[in-house]
Amino acid sequence: MLVGTKQIQMKKRGNMSAMTAAYLAAMAKSYSNQEGGIMIPADQLDQVVEIPLGFQPLGISSRPSPDGAGDDVLIAAYFEPAICRALVTRDENGLHFNVDWIRGVNHGIQSVRLFPDISQPGGANRAQCVFWGPDGNVWVSRNGERDFYVLSPPDKPDGRWTLTSKVILPSDDKGDQIHAGHMDSDGVIYTIESTQSPDKWRRRYYERRDDRWLQAELGICATLTYGLAKEPDGTVWTISDFRSNNLAKGLYYENRLVVPDICGNGIAFLSDGSALVARYGQSYPGCFNGIPGALVYVPAAMLKV
């Protein structure tokens, strides 16, 4: 009896291994179908263009690509959670997006889906802010938390990203939530935050001194202000969420409305001066859970101030 039982167990394990291998192969094939590229034709680059997405985006960040070919864009995919990465280049035919994904990352001896654990029992990991660090690392936060997880790039092109550290930004009130973030070339972090209510919104920045992060206030901002992107001269761009009732919809240069009637939750500038806006659609009204997420292209000519 015992011998027979062991044989059955071994057979089951063998089937399980085969099933796991088949599942992983099918999953890899499925993911490969979600990579590739799209293009905005050149004759549309003088107007606002909306690109529907198969996921709900929140934070977005951009940097010039290391090889000088274009811009390296990161988009936080909220529910997955994952990071959509796009190399954006421009030629006489239009604006090209070559898309890849950061899904699983190394965490010690484990492979995890972007974050190491779930913060609350019964909760779920959700990707909120994402931005490039000046050293090429990627910073990502979840669910409005104050914790940022730092991902280091792979050593080889087909390698995996590695979760190397966690940074907790200080606050007088631990209930304050971070809705948007940006890191400049000096490693200073700019944020948009709210109280847990959330009825009070403000801008802050954080500078690292020795082994501490020092916080400073940049001022109050309207409820449901998102963004943010920062120009080299220190000027900050923000955007209103569609739910904002005390702020006209649009893109703001400091407190000045520059591009009306565009809503969103993240902004990133490309090298040619144009911008990409990430729009989270699930909080829009509608019986089928809102509208699709979108990436909105805004031409540079509309952003002149």
Average pLDDT over residues 178-184: 96
> For residue 11, what pLDDT band results from cuts at 50, 70 and 90?
very low
> Which of 2 and 206 is assigned the larger pLDDT?
206
pLDDT of res. 23: 56
Asked if 123 and 117 touch (Cβ cutoff 8 Å), the reply is: no
pLDDT of res. 29: 57
> Which of 124 and 163 is assigned the larger pLDDT?
163
User: How many angstroms separate the CA atoms of 248 and 35, rounded?
Assistant: 36
CA-CA-CA-CA dihedral for 55, 60, 66, 68, to nearest 10:
90
List C-alpha distances in Å: 301 to 97, 105, 159, 268.
21, 39, 39, 16
Contacts of residue 90, defined as CB under 8 A and 6 or more positions apart, other chains included, come to: 70, 96, 272
Say if strands 82-91 and 71-77 run parallel, antiparallel, or are unpaired. antiparallel
Say if strands 236-240 and 201-209 run parallel, antiparallel, or are unpaired. unpaired
pLDDT of res. 5: 35
The count of residues in the chain is 305
Report the DSSP beta bridge partners of residue 240. Answer: 225
Taking the whole predicted model, whether its pTM rises above 0.95 is answered as: no
pLDDT digits (tens, 9 = 90+) for 51-81: 999 999 999 999 999 999 999 999 999 999 9
User: How many angstroms separate the CA atoms of 147 and 140, rounded?
Assistant: 8
pLDDT of res. 211: 87
